[in-house]
């Protein structure tokens, strides 16, 4: 293996960002361990570069399977350089409209699953004293919408955990980056957006309206997943590792607006909050 060749481990390669990233990684000459719930959905990736691609079935809600697959993946080429937590899905509906099981499942896939993947790859990366973990977040994590409270909350949790882990592992030569996309033209709305089990008319004007907006946006999202994949590969090749790589104009504008609003609110409420300290 060429010294410059990286080994990537990517979840959710059957579709969308994961599929685009898998193809881009192979085209760049790097090695790829691609995973998906249904291994048959990614078998064709091995034919792209039989010596450079391995595929495994992996559902990220299963921590034991995550550990087993990561262990096998690390043995294929003796290392894992980049691990991408891409697998995820949306849940649209007001918090009250979602069933208990829907909330738990969404957090298990979007938050707990990526945490287990990180916990599985970190021993490999610590022994290498190098590695780059990339966690796919969402614009909902910086300023959430009505109707995305659970999904955006899970992504917000992923951002918080990633920031902490980044500080834990930086001295060990390991990088952690969050990728924060806005709306991208993947199959997310068509196949990865679950509807809340319940309906409460009081939320029609907020979360109901947002769900309709998502439906109308499908096929017209401004973001191109192939270009997103190119941006991620470019960021990894660059060697510097931002805490956040915000993808697309929509997410960039939204992130800037949210930061400005947070700054203005901090200033407005500082006198009240500052009064909470001891006076002497």
Ligand X SMILES: NC(=O)c1ccc[n+]([C@@H]2O[C@H](COP(=O)([O-])OP(=O)(O)OC[C@H]3O[C@@H](n4cnc5c(N)ncnc54)[C@H](OP(=O)(O)O)[C@@H]3O)[C@@H](O)[C@H]2O)c1
Given the rule CB under 6 A, which residues bind ligand X?
11-12, 14-18, 36-38, 41, 59-61, 86-89, 109, 136, 138, 181, 183-184, 186-188, 191-192, 221
Question: Which entry of 155, 203, 207, 254 is annotated as an active-site residue?
Answer: 155
**CB 18 within 8 Å of CB 38:** no
Q: Smallest distance from the beta carbon of 274 to ligand X, in angstroms? A: 36
Nearer to ligand X, 15 or 149 (CB): 15
**CB 179 within 8 Å of CB 10:** no
- Could you confirm whether 137 is annotated as catalytic? yes
Nearer to ligand X, 131 or 248 (CB): 248
**Cα separation of 51 and 182, whole Å?**
34
- Could you confirm whether 151 is annotated as catalytic? yes
Q: Smallest distance from the beta carbon of 8 to ligand X, in angstroms? A: 15
Question: Which entry of 15, 145, 149, 151 is annotated as an active-site residue?
Answer: 151
Q: Smallest distance from the beta carbon of 153 to ligand X, in angstroms? A: 12
- Could you confirm whether 155 is annotated as catalytic? yes
Q: Cβ atoms within 10 A of the Cβ of 230, count? A: 16
Residue nearest to ligand X (CB): 16
Nearer to ligand X, 60 or 161 (CB): 60
Q: Dig out the tokens for 160 from the structure.
A: 């918080």
**Cα separation of 29 and 162, whole Å?**
28
Question: Which entry of 14, 137, 162, 207 is annotated as an active-site residue?
Answer: 137
**Cα separation of 110 and 154, whole Å?**
6
Question: Dihedral of the CA atoms 230, 106, 15, 164 (nearest 10)?
Answer: 20
Nearer to ligand X, 172 or 193 (CB): 193
Q: Smallest distance from the beta carbon of 269 to ligand X, in angstroms? A: 30
Nearer to ligand X, 41 or 258 (CB): 41
Q: Smallest distance from the beta carbon of 203 to ligand X, in angstroms? A: 22
Catalytic residue IDs:
137, 151, 155
């Amino acid at each position: 293996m060429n010294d410059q060749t990286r080994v990537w481990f990517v979840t959710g390669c059957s579709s969308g960002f994961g599929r685009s990233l898998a193809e881009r990684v192979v085209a760049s000459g790097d090695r790829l361990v691609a995973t998906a719930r249904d291994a048959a959905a990614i078998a064709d990736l091995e034919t792209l570069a039989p010596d450079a691609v391995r595929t495994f079935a992996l559902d990220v809600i299963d921590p034991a399977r995550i550990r087993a697959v990561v262990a096998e993946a690390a043995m294929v080429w003796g290392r894992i350089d980049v691990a991408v937590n891409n697998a995820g899905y949306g849940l649209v509906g007001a918090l009250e409209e979602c069933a208990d099981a829907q909330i738990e499942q969404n957090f298990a896939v979007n938050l707990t699953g990526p945490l287990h993947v990180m916990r599985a790859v970190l021993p490999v990366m610590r022994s290498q004293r190098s590695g780059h973990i990339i966690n796919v977040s969402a614009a909902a994590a910086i300023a959430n919408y009505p109707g995305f409270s659970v999904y955006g909350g899970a992504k917000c949790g992923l951002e918080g955990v990633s920031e902490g882990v980044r500080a834990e592992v930086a001295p060990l030569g390991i990088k952690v980056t969050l990728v924060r996309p806005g709306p991208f033209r993947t199959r997310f709305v068509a196949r990865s957006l679950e509807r809340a089990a319940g309906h409460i008319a009081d939320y029609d004007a907020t979360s109901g309206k947002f769900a309709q907006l998502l439906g109308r946006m499908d096929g017209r999202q401004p973001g191109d997943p192939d270009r997103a994949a190119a941006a991620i590969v470019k960021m990894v090749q660059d060697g510097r590792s931002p805490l956040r790589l915000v993808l697309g104009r929509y997410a960039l504008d939204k992130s800037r607006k949210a930061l400005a609003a947070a700054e203005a609110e901090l200033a407005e409420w500082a006198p009240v909050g500052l009064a909470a300290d001891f006076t002497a």
